[in-house]
Amino acid sequence: MAEQTYGAAVIGGGIVGAATAMALSGKVRGGVVVLEKEDRLAAHQTGNNSGVIHSGLYYRPGSLKAQNCTQGREALYRFCMENGIPHKRCGKLVVATREAELPALERLAERGEANGLTDLRRLRGLDELRAYEPHVYGLAGLWVPQTGIVDYHAVTAAFAKCIRERDGEILTGTRFISRNADGDTQVLETTSGTIRCRTLVNCAGLQSDRVARACGVNPGLKIIPFRGEYYVLRPERESLVNGLIYPVPDPNFPFLGVHFTRMINGGVEAGPNAVPAFRREGYRKLDISLRDMAETFLYPGFVRMGLRHLGMGVGEMWRSWVKPAFVASLRRLIPEIAGSDVKRGGAGVRAQALEADGTLVDDFRIVEAPGMVHVLNAPSPAATAAITIGETIAARVMDQLKLKS
Ligand SMILES: Cc1cc2nc3c(=O)[nH]c(=O)nc-3n(C[C@H](O)[C@H](O)[C@H](O)COP(=O)(O)OP(=O)(O)OC[C@H]3O[C@@H](n4cnc5c(N)ncnc54)[C@H](O)[C@@H]3O)c2cc1C
């Protein structure tokens, strides 16, 4: 490919990169290009997630997650309606199965209200819970009407259509390798040749820390891959689940706990768990990369986090390898479920940023450098919030471009 010049180049064709390029396309002199190393968009986190449109229940009020999830959720519902993307605002049930979880359930309700969720219903006792989910067991629950389901492949494909309609370009099969500066111009080496641009945006998900480093920016964190494995309910047992059933999450851990999700394209999934992966893009248990393993296991932050969450980590590994242990956690929510009712499904790998002191980075993290914007942590609910995050990142790019012109 001959050398090409653009206004902005977005590295990564997941939902965050696509949303950013959509927000920029038609506005940036010189146009926008998305560089995606795989042969298709949404190949990693975006295409292997639970397909839930999150409500904004869990996030610290005022955090980027809370702001972007609340606005992004409604923006996504509107986008789906305007673009004919199948989706459903089905609501979800969070269930406390033990007395000890009741205070955390109430804190969750208060947090949701602080984040602007209206019409939350506090449920007491089995009868009230079973009015929503007839097979569930629990002591109390929270009904969250704003939650929904969608297929994020379809959403990303619709973002891509908008990008192309506004003269943006998408180059799949194009891996970003390195970056140099030529005055105010960013010069990117890719597997499809040299690309010049005024601003680059790093939305590389599981590779975002490496892309930052290749751009000469110290990310100050490491991406640790956490695989999330799913089981699927056999079709004849799907009637056990109406919609979405979640446990009360452990507040010390950034993941929500294994839950039941009725998918927009049919079927019911149970999961995901959260186990460290031996490869950043490794979807099977024994997918191994020595480079990825060395980077993870030799990182001081990983050792510190491991010691801090040892019990949880061992439990997750056990549940990953031993089906009855996984089924036991499902049975806490739906006691009727037997091992024969579920079979192994797919998996996704989360990009979780970890600091050297062992702190799991909770909020979205966006870092700027001259001519560059790096998205270094965009975990769940980034798919839900993508439209708003994309607009936030695009605003920063536009500010940088204005300063230059
Ligand atoms: C198991 C699981 C369940 C989840 N469930 C939900 C949910 O229900 N709801 C929700 O809102 N969120 C959910 N999430 C989170 C959500 O999927 C992510 O936050 C979101 O997809 C992040 O999007 P992204 O574009 O940043 O990353 P990605 O989708 O991973 O995209 C990054 C892209 O960058 C590309 N790339 C990397 N390096 C390069 C390079 N050098 N050159 C070119 N391209 C490169 C990759 O190939 C990839 O396509 C879940 C995540 C997982 C893993």
Residue 275: CATH number of its domain? 3.30.9
- Ligand 1 closest atom vs CA 203: 26
206 lies in the same domain as 228: no
Asked if residue 30 and residue 172 are part of one domain, the reply reads yes
Query: Nearest CA to 205 among 84, 380, 76?
Result: 380
Q: How many domains does the chain have?
A: 3
Give the pTM. Answer: 0.96
Q: Which structural domain range is residue 249 located in?
A: 222-360
Residue that has been written with the tokens 């079927």 in this structure: 267
Residue 314: its pLDDT value, please?
A: 80
Residue 280 shares a structural domain with residue 349:
yes
- Is residue 127 in some structural domain? yes
337 plus 230 within the same structural domain? yes
Q: Give the distance (Å) from ligand 1 centre to CA of residue 117.
A: 26
Cβ 192 vs Cβ 176: under 8 Å? no
pLDDT at 404: 56
User: Do 336 and 295 belong to one domain?
Assistant: yes
How many angstroms separate the alpha carbon of residue 275 from the centre of ligand 1?
Answer: 17
CA distance 118 to 139: 22
Is residue 60 domain-resident?
Answer: no
143/198 Cα distance (integer angstroms):
47
Where residue 200 sits, what CATH number does that domain have? 3.50.50.60
From ligand 1's centre to the CA of 342, what distance in Å?
26
Residues 105 and 169 in one domain: no
Please state, in angstroms and rounded to a whole number, the distance separating the CA atoms of residues 314 and 166: 49
Asked if residues 394 and 261 have their Cβ atoms less than 8 Å apart, the reply is no
pLDDT of residue 309: 83
For every one of its 405 residues, what pLDDT tens digit does the chain have, with 9 covering 90 and above?
678 999 999 999 999 999 999 999 999 999 999 999 999 999 999 999 999 999 999 999 999 999 999 999 999 999 999 999 999 999 999 999 999 999 999 999 999 999 999 999 999 999 999 999 999 999 999 999 999 999 999 999 999 999 999 989 999 999 999 999 999 999 999 999 999 999 999 999 999 999 999 999 999 999 999 999 999 999 999 999 999 999 999 877 777 888 999 999 999 999 899 899 999 999 999 999 999 999 999 999 998 998 888 888 888 888 888 899 999 999 999 999 999 999 999 999 999 999 999 999 999 999 999 999 999 999 999 999 999 999 999 999 999 988 554
Residues 175 and 306 in one domain: no
Nearest-atom number in ligand 1 for the CA of 349 is 53
Considering the domain architecture, whether residues 159 and 254 belong to the same structural domain is answered as: no
- What is the model's pLDDT at position 308? 84
Looking at the fold, whether 160 and 13 belong to one and the same domain comes out as yes
Query: Could you tell me if the CB of 228 is within 6 A of ligand 1?
Result: yes
Q: What are the Cα distances from residue 27, in Å, to 20, 199, 373, 397?
A: 12, 13, 17, 11
Of 127, 145, 163, the last residue of a domain is: 145
Structural contact between residues 270 and 232, judged by C-beta atoms closer than 8 angstroms: yes
Q: Which residues pair with 96 in a beta bridge?
A: 140
Same-domain pairing of 163 and 31: yes
| CA 100 and chain centroid, separation | 29
- Establish if 52 belongs to a structural domain: no
CA gap 222, 121 in Å, rounded:
39
Q: Is the CB of 337 under 6 A from ligand 1?
A: no
Residue 274 and residue 340 in one domain = yes
Whether residue 324 is found in the same domain as residue 259: yes
User: Using CA atoms, how far apart are residues 317 and 276, in angstroms rounded to an integer?
Assistant: 8
71 CB less than 6 Å from ligand 1? no
